[in-house]
Amino acid sequence: MNHAFCKLIQMDELPAIKIKHPRFNAILLLQGAQLIEFRPQQNQFENVLWLSPSAQYKLGSPIRGGIPICWPWFGNLDKNPDSIQDQVDNKTSASAHGFARSMPWQIKHIQEDCHFVEVTLSLSSDSTTKELWPFEFELEAKFVLSNTLKFALVTSNTGSLPFSISQALHTYLPTQDIKHSFIHSAQNSTYIDALDSWKEKQQVGKVSFSGETDRLYFFEDKEYSLRLETPTQSLLINNKNSQSAVIWNPWVEKSKRLSQFSPLDFQKMLCIETANVLSDAKKINAGEQIEISVELAIHSSQ
């Protein structure tokens, strides 16, 4: 790899692109096009993303942290609309959050200059993916890294049949203390509570955390921003072509059932996931493409 700021490294079983740029450092795994570290100078080169201290880098196994890509379905298949469930022949072996995050992606394009680095990885349908999901597609994960992190996932339907997807950019974020962390700008939104029989509820005020939290929020606009306030930082999460977001913290009991996760990790992380889920799932006709994107920008840090 002959680039000024990017080099190919190996993390246990997984190849990755390590980027050392004057404005930031980053690590992007080729498996799942999973960004696991983004360390901007503005954040004293600390990771803006949460990455499990017990992360394992094994072929075919998702890594706990960074921004896993949930595609071509979010969550458990049986919690998706029928239009998505009916596309999968072997439902019982369908992995949670789809298969894109466990597959080897290819480097499609790298562009770098003194202001930013742009990396595009791609995943195209083949005999392996068609066993899991019988459609022709090309996925592109486009990262534009500078003082901010911009990440767009583009789905192209390269076949002759329409297909439907649900998806999420499953962003893990750090906090000094989950009990003093709040998410603003979701007030008055409707959400589905996955921990209370998937009942529909209304968000009153800012989102706070005092127990396991697993909620699917819905917004009127296709562009919306959320602000995460932690004891040491304020982070803007700007979303496009998404009218839903998943907010998750496993708390004590679920933490015991999670891989690559220690019992007290829940105190130092949360997920804010830019999504197209449930009523915001997407149908893509032959020859068409859709894009979902997120930008993370530090608003202020103490």
Least Å from the CB of residue 189 to ligand TA6: 17
Member of 72, 75, 98, 174 binding ligand TA6 (CB under 6 A) = 75
Under 8 Å between Cβ of 63 and 34: yes
Under 8 Å between Cβ of 181 and 247: no
DSSP character at residue 92: G
Q: Give the x/- contact pattern for ligand TA6 in 151-170, rule: CB under 6 A.
A: -------------------x
Phi, then psi, of 62 in degrees rounded to 5: -60, 150
Whole-angstrom CA distances from 117 to 1, 100, 202, 226, 292 are: 14, 23, 40, 25, 20
Residue 246 found at the interface with ligand TA6 (CB under 6 A) = yes
Give the nearer residue to ligand TA6 in terms of CB position, either 62 or 174.
62
Least Å from the CB of residue 68 to ligand TA6: 6
Residues 260-289 that bind ligand TA6 (CB under 6 A): 271, 273
CA triple 273-264-197, angle to 5 deg: 50
Residue 65 found at the interface with ligand TA6 (CB under 6 A) = no
Residue 132 found at the interface with ligand TA6 (CB under 6 A) = no
Give the nearer residue to ligand TA6 in terms of CB position, either 129 or 166.
166
Under 8 Å between Cβ of 129 and 163: no
Residue 254 CA to residue 263 CA, distance in Å, equals 9
Give the nearer residue to ligand TA6 in terms of CB position, either 84 or 145.
84
Q: Which residues bind ligand TA6 (CB under 6 A)?
A: 62, 75, 96-97, 170, 214, 246, 248, 258, 271, 273
